[in-house]
Amino acid sequence: MARIFITGSSDGLGLLAARLLIEQGHAVVLHARNEARSRDAIAALPRAEAVVTGDFSSIGQVRDVAAQVNALGAFDAVIHNAAVGFRERRRIETEDGLAHVFAVNTLAPYLLTALIHRPRRLVYVSSELHRRGDASLADLNWETRPWRGNQAYSDTKLHDVLLANAVGRRWPEVRSNALEPGWVATKMGGSHATGDLDAAPRTQAWLAAGGEPGTEVSGGYFFHMQPRKPSGAVHDPVRQDMLLAACARLSGVTLPGA
């Protein structure tokens, strides 16, 4: 059985994936943004091993989450699930001077990838909207562009697939993959979503648990446990390296091996 850490797992798809994995006999550590959400997570999944706490809009708190995880010992897999949605009507600036959507959806998984002791499997939850992301990687922090919440979200979901591929290329011993869960009726997706909520968390759980032939790949992109073709931009090592360099500059942390 595997030991798995899941970000953003106090509710939504993260919690559903955690429940699946625990039911399968795996050990799961949850993550919540604050102490109140941590209590909710443990109440919902009392069989979880532990909960770590930290707000991903803060570089300092993301670093602390990584330290909390490392203090718990080795993990077989990390699921980078935490994200904020596309409904922000203006550019919200974090304490670090970053656009909120970029800080949570792009920089936090980059930092955790760099700082958590390297697991055997990494899973990045993206979206079909990554295909609309700006592959130029210009103005990642939305300092000059007029704010568009939908575009900001799409950009970050492209970044997540680029990150998965960059890690898979640089760390050949790690199975690093991305997926899209579909548009489903979670708090983020909204009540009008039409996707299959039962199927939505299964791919990340399947990839994180590993052991099946379809999971023993790296640089893959999946939907409902089947390979799916992502945006062609994600396979470009130049774009991958551009994203890694930008994240290193903005966070002060360099991905090992980069």
Domain residue spans in the chain?
3-251
pLDDT exceeds cutoff 60 at 242? yes
What's the token pair of residue 33?
């943004």
Report which secondary-structure segment, H or E, holds 77. strand 77-80
The bridge status of strand 221-223 relative to strand 226-227 is antiparallel
Q: Computed over its alpha carbons, how large is the radius of gyration of the chain?
A: 17
Confidence of residue 198 (pLDDT cuts 50, 70, 90): confident
The whole-chain average pLDDT of the chain stands at 95
CATH of domain 3-251: 3.40.50.720
* CA atoms of 25 and 228, how far apart (whole Å): 28
Torsion of CA 220, 238, 248, 52, to 10 degrees: -10
Residue-wise pLDDT for 69-85, tens only, equals 999 999 999 999 999 98
Confidence of residue 153 (pLDDT cuts 50, 70, 90): very high
Say which amino acid occupies 14: G
Confidence of residue 182 (pLDDT cuts 50, 70, 90): confident
For the question of residue 187 being annotated catalytic, the response is no
What's the token pair of residue 118?
């390297």
Q: What pLDDT is recorded for position 190?
A: 67
Among 124, 157, 221, 229, the one annotated catalytic: 157
Name, in order, each residue with C-beta under 8 angstroms of 40's C-beta and a sequence gap of 6 or more: 10, 11, 32
Cβ–Cβ < 8 Å for 148, 129: no
Confidence of residue 193 (pLDDT cuts 50, 70, 90): low
Cα–Cα nearest to 86, from 242, 14, 193, 179: 193
* CA atoms of 258 and 256, how far apart (whole Å): 5
pTM as predicted: 0.96
pLDDT exceeds cutoff 70 at 258? no
Confidence of residue 87 (pLDDT cuts 50, 70, 90): confident
The sign of the dihedral angle between the CA atoms of 98, 118, 4, 163 is positive
Among 110, 124, 153, 221, the one annotated catalytic: 153
For the question of residue 157 being annotated catalytic, the response is yes
Q: What pLDDT is recorded for position 196?
A: 79
Mean pLDDT of 150-158: 97
* CA atoms of 86 and 88, how far apart (whole Å): 6
Mean pLDDT of 226-230: 97
What's the token pair of residue 234?
């994600």
Task: Average the pLDDT over each of 91-95, 168-172, 181-185, 199-203 and give the range with the smallest value.
Answer: 181-185
Q: What pLDDT is recorded for position 187?
A: 67
* CA atoms of 209 and 4, how far apart (whole Å): 8
